[in-house]
Amino acid sequence: IASAREAARSAPTLDELRALLEKFEGCALRNTATRLVFADGNPKARIMFVGEAPGRDEDIEGLPFVGRSGKLLDRMIAAIGLDRSKAYIANVIPWRPPGNRTPTPQETQICLPFIQRQIELVNPDVLVTLGNPSTQTLLSTREGIMRTRGKWFDYDTGTRTIRAMATFHPAYLLRSPSYKRMSWQDLRAIAKALAAS
């Protein structure tokens, strides 16, 4: 298990990283999930979105953000003037937690090297973390989304610094639509940064 995590850190391509995860037995979530949910979109995209973990629809289809939240994420991507062919989408956790429970800190730590390497390989100009778990894990903060959203962070891959912004998770926006206005402000800032980079 330790060696698979080590291997993740140096997997030369996204395909090899995915193959490592397909074989990885260090995370018990794989035993209850239907399948691995690795990523969707364009591996050459300049923008990458990272959510928390797959839900029921994603577990069935094997792709991230294909359910109701995914439809809203598509509109968020459209607000930047893009679509999935120009964005890359993944989750911190690549297997559905039973009953969509929140992943434990231990599960998150076990999966972390895989998403870190995925970010490094995609090497986007802008990284967008969706909601608290993704933001707190990847941007190393304990602050909640109300304080982190809309601000620029530096995401350090070890070889490069990537500009990163946190915004609301689409599932949260579905429950609390009044935050959509703030979310769209964040998306405008992201579009501006992409245009300038």
Contact residues for ligand URA (CB under 6 A)? Answer: 51-55, 58, 64-65, 69, 91, 171
Q: Provide the phi-psi class of 140: left if phi over 0, else alpha when psi is between -120 and 50, else beta.
A: left
Nearer to ligand URA, 95 or 155 (CB): 95
Q: Which two tokens stand for residue 125?
A: 């100009």
In this complex, which beta carbon is closest to ligand URA, that of residue 58 or of residue 186?
A: 58
Rounded least distance, CB 99 to ligand URA, Å: 14
| Nearer Cβ to ligand URA (51/113) | 51
> How far is CA 105 from its chain centroid?
16
Residue whose CB is less far from ligand URA, 19 or 174: 174
Q: Could you tell me the CA-to-CA distances from 86 to 45, 77, 130 in Å, in that order? A: 5, 9, 18
Q: Least CB distance from residue 63 to ligand URA, whole Å?
A: 8
Longest C-alpha distance within the chain, in Å?
Answer: 46
Output the smallest distance, CB 90 to ligand URA, in A.
Answer: 8
Instruction: Point out the residue whose Cβ comes nearest to ligand URA.
Output: 51
CA distance 150 to 116: 22
Q: What is the rounded distance in angstroms from the CA atom of residue 188 to the CA atom of residue 89?
A: 19
Least distance from C-beta 169 to ligand URA, angstroms? 6
Indicate the length of the chain as a whole number.
Answer: 197
- Shortest gap between Cβ of 177 and ligand URA (angstroms)? 17
Nearer to ligand URA, 10 or 109 (CB): 109
